Amino acid sequence: MKGEVINMPPKPPKPKGPQTLSTGILRRHSNVVFITVDVMNVDPNNVHSVAVQMFDWSSNLPVVIPLLTPSIQFVSPNQAVFFFSDSLPLNLRVYEVRIVHPGDEDVVINVSGISGNPIFDPKEVDTVLQHDLVKLKLE
């Protein structure tokens, strides 16, 4: 069988594994009162964990912005979870959001700076969509 081509079944894709994503430093619009991270998991079978950190870079060093929600949350299949910052201090000029994403394409994450009440009356001011987030290599 010289010259015969053997067709092997395709290998399943390797899971990417967790990856740290960043908004980079964002300038705060004067109307932004809260930062939110919205996470949806459209994977029909698997629960995924997502971790979020928010930083104030106004002093040129990262200072943690407190969250109103747990910094690590589990997202059940076909569910969504939300992360909310505490009310931002008036002197916060620039900020960054870092997310440890599970690496599954069925988990979609967006970041918003909003005015008003983040739960009952959000008025979106700034948004960073997942495809705009930058992958970090924190070594």
| Residue 11 confidence (pLDDT) above 80 | no
Please state the rounded mean pLDDT for residues 40-65.
Answer: 97
CA separation for the pair 85, 87 (Å, rounded): 6
| Residue 2 confidence (pLDDT) above 90 | no
Cα 4 to Cα 1, 7, 9, 137: the distances in Å are 5, 10, 16, 44
What is the structure's pLDDT at 125?
A: 79
What is the average pLDDT score of the chain?
90
Q: Is 57 helix (H, G, I), strand (E, B) or coil?
A: coil
The domains of the chain are located at 19-136
For 83-131, write each residue's pLDDT tens digit.
999 999 999 999 999 999 999 999 999 999 998 776 667 776 788 999 9
Please state the rounded mean pLDDT for residues 69-86.
Answer: 97
Which of the following CATH numbers is that of domain 19-136: 3.40.50, 1.20.1070, 2.20.25, 2.60.290? 2.60.290
Confidence of residue 17 (pLDDT cuts 50, 70, 90): confident
